Each structure stands twice: as structure tokens, then as C-alpha cells.
Amino acid sequence: MKLENLEARFQEKIDQDIKIEPKDWMPEKYRKTHIRQISQHAHSEIVGMLPEGNWISRAPSLRRKVALLAKVQDEAGHGLYLYSACETLGITRDELTDQLRTGKAKYSSIFNYPTLTWADIGAIGWLVDGAAIINQVPLQNTSYGPYARAMVRVCKEESFHQRQGFEIMTTLARGTEAQKEMAQDALNRWWWPSLMMFGPADKDSTHTAQSMKWKLKRKTNDELRQQFVDQTVPQAELIGLTIPDTDLVWNVVNNEYDFGEINWEEFWQVVKGHGPCNKERIAARVKAHTEGAWVREGAMAYAEKKKSSSRKIAS
């Protein structure tokens, strides 16, 4: 079949909401765009373990420690599903993680900010997982089957994470004056970086138009960001915290919040590797990879041994 016909048939399947599976024909650009987005997503989950991992040994109670430990482990699991989904597109796990360690691959800008106080753990769960859910719920309907299916479980777990973060913030906001100040300070520092998670404004987005056509993205960056603001502002009001945006106002005509201008200069600086923690994050991944070499070798040797003993039994 001619390439144009293959492409037309492929787009028809997408238009009819038929999932694309790994062995189906797909345009090379579709494959590459998916590798880019799914791997960036996977790297974000893995690097995202670092800011929160920083507080596991300092959680204020056993209950908080257990919940945080479970959350960080969930993020590792999300990374693994996503790497597996990405591998179905013909790239190896080693190639993917190598791109992260060498700085060739991006990961979410949000994880280049430091976690300075315990309230930051509440803010991450509430805002960062909250933003991640808004972005990922539509991805459950994305056109590529393995990515869509991975998102179903990820979203269920992120909902739990968002709840635990909001509960931490609620407790602090209703606590002593010092605790309330700590919660407000965390909200002040994490609010704008959370809005940046959704990516550049639609007018400056490189990939949105094509990704919407392929149904890789089901909503644009600005649509998702607006949804996040509209959902989160009442939550802040409920627990008596103030969103750090003097331009925030309810727009009665559009039935949504108008909000202030994002500092795009800061966003691009962080994306380009000049955020507060970019170097530290990559160094931590390189260290884990180097120091984990013996674990990988041991696992490979065990797998080889198991394979050869099952071959012996079969013969």
C-alpha cells in the first residue's frame, strides 16, 4: 500500500477512536513523538521521587512516614509502567535512562524546585499531583493503547496522592500560627511552578496542534491549566490559604478564574537546566545508576541462571 494511503487509514482509525497498538503501522513521526512524551513522563515520575524522598526520614509521625513512603514507591511504579509502554515503540530502557542521565531528555520542570519544609510535601501532593491528574485523566483516552492503559492505574494512584497532600495542608492550615504560615509559604512557592507544569501557552507550544490531531493530547496546555486553577482556588479558600496571585478574579462572563501572567522566562530557564535543583537531580540519578550496577548485574545473572535451569528441565 502507498504511504499516503497508509497515513490516511491510520488517521481514520484515530478519528474513529480505535487504539493504535505496538504492532500496527504508524507514521515515524507519531512513533517519535510518543517516545518523546512518554519518556519525558516516565523520567518525571522517577525524578519526582527525589524532592519527596528528601522528607521520608523526617516525616512528623509514623502515619505520615508510611503514607509518604508508599507514595514515593507508587511514583517509581508509574515510571516503570511508562518505560514499559515506551519500550513497545522500539527503544530500550537503557537508551531511555541514558538520555535522562546525559541531559538529552527533558523531565517536568516542577521537580527542579527544592522541598524546604514539611509543608512542601503537602503542597506537592495537593498541587503537583493535582495538576498531574488533570493532565493525565484525558490521557486515559489517548490514541496509543499501552500509554492509555498505563494511565488508568496511574490516575487512580495519583488521586490518593492528591488527597494525602490536601490532608497535610488542611492539618497545617488549621494548626498553630506557625504551621499555618508554613502551609502558606509552601503554597506561595509551589503555586506558579505548578501552573508551569502544563507547558507553554498554546500560542507558543511546538507540539500541541499535531498531538491533538493524533489524539496523543486530548486537551491543550491552556485548557488544562485553566481547569487546574478553577478546581484548586476553592480548595485553597476552604482551608483558609491565599493563592499568591493579585490578579486572580472570578470572571462571571466566562464562568472561570482570570489569573496573572506566568513568568515564562523562569519556566524556560528551568526547562533549559538552570533551575534551583537541575544539577542536583541529574547527579542523584547518575549516582543511583552507578551505585546500582551490582544490583543490575546480580539480577541479570539470576535471570540467566533461571533460564538455563528451565531449559534443562524442558529437555
The site for ligand FAQ (CB under 6 A) is made up of 36-37, 40-41, 44-45, 48, 75, 106, 108-109, 124, 128-129, 132, 135, 196-200, 205-208, 211, 217, 221, 271
Q: CB nearer to ligand FAQ: give 80 or 181.
A: 80
Least gap, CB of 154 to ligand FAQ (angstroms): 8
Q: What is the DSSP string of 271-286?
A: IIIISSSHHHHHHHHH
Least gap, CB of 51 to ligand FAQ (angstroms): 7
Pick the closest to residue 122 from 64, 66, 69, 74 (CA basis).
Answer: 64
Q: CB nearer to ligand FAQ: give 107 or 259.
A: 107
Q: CB nearer to ligand FAQ: give 106 or 153.
A: 106
Q: CB nearer to ligand FAQ: give 97 or 211.
A: 211
Query: Treating both helix axes as pointing N-terminal to C-terminal, what angle do 293-314 and 278-291 enclose, rounded to 10 degrees?
Result: 40
Q: Give the cell for residue 212.
A: 491533538
Q: Where are the alpha helices (DSSP H) in the chain?
A: 3-15, 28-47, 49-53, 62-87, 93-101, 119-123, 130-136, 145-173, 177-196, 208-213, 221-238, 264-269, 278-291, 293-314
Least gap, CB of 1 to ligand FAQ (angstroms): 30
Q: What is the DSSP string of 121-163?
A: HHHIIIIIIHHHHHHHTGGGG-SBHHHHHHHHHHHHHHHHHHH
Report how far residue 171's alpha carbon sits from residue 177's, in angstroms, rounded to the nearest whole number.
Answer: 12
Report how far residue 245's alpha carbon sits from residue 259's, in angstroms, rounded to the nearest whole number.
Answer: 7
Q: Label residue 302 exposed, middle or buried (CB < 10 Å: 0-12, 13-18, 19+).
A: exposed
Q: CB nearer to ligand FAQ: give 100 or 132.
A: 132
Q: CB nearer to ligand FAQ: give 39 or 184.
A: 39
Coil, strand, or helix at residue 233? helix
Report how far residue 93's alpha carbon sits from residue 77's, in angstroms, rounded to the nearest whole number.
Answer: 14
Q: CB nearer to ligand FAQ: give 196 or 241.
A: 196
**Which residue's Cβ lies closest to ligand FAQ?**
48
Least gap, CB of 175 to ligand FAQ (angstroms): 23
How far does Cα 130 stand from its chain's mean position? 10
Least gap, CB of 238 to ligand FAQ (angstroms): 22
Least gap, CB of 283 to ligand FAQ (angstroms): 18
Least gap, CB of 268 to ligand FAQ (angstroms): 8
Least gap, CB of 74 to ligand FAQ (angstroms): 9
Q: CB nearer to ligand FAQ: give 36 or 163.
A: 36
